[in-house]
Amino acid sequence: MLLTKYRIMSNESNFLAGLVIGAVAGAVAGLLAAPYSGKETREIIASKAGDMGDDLEKQYKKISKKIKGLEKDSIDDFKEKFYDVKGALKEKYAHVASSVKDLEKELSKKIEDLQKQAQDLEKEASKAV
């Protein structure tokens, strides 16, 4: 999902770069092939530059809005993943803690059994002497 958003931003950035490059190329071509006088050409260029400025401002606002949305989504995605991992870690910790308690009980039982066997062996040894 996040990659798709970056691709959208990349596509829009490419579009914006293409728009600027196209506008500059168009302006240069227009100057070279202008059928109008210098004054008329300058007026046309000023008008087109104003239009291009408006278009660039619209694209800037659109991209800015998407970036802000991406930041919010990224933070929300991070929080969701963080809480998922946190929950999984709690479950694993509970499982490990339970396993450790079971092992502790088992070892305690074995120690008691070994101590009892050692006492029994001592009693048999003392009887044999």
- Band (pLDDT 50/70/90 cuts) for residue 93 is confident
Would you say residue 31 has pLDDT above 70?
no
Residues spanned by the domain of 104: 2-128
The pLDDT score that the predictor gives to residue 11 is 64
Would you say residue 13 has pLDDT above 80?
no
Average pLDDT of the segment spanning 35-45: 71
The whole-model pTM stands at: 0.39
| Burial state string for 93-123 with b = 16 or more CB within 10 A and e = fewer than 16 | eeeeeeeeeeeeeeeeeeeeeeeeeeeeeee
Separation of alpha carbons 76 and 60, rounded Å: 24
Residues 45-76: tens digit of each pLDDT:
777 777 777 877 888 888 878 777 777 777 88
Would you say residue 3 has pLDDT above 60?
no
Total domains in the chain come to 1
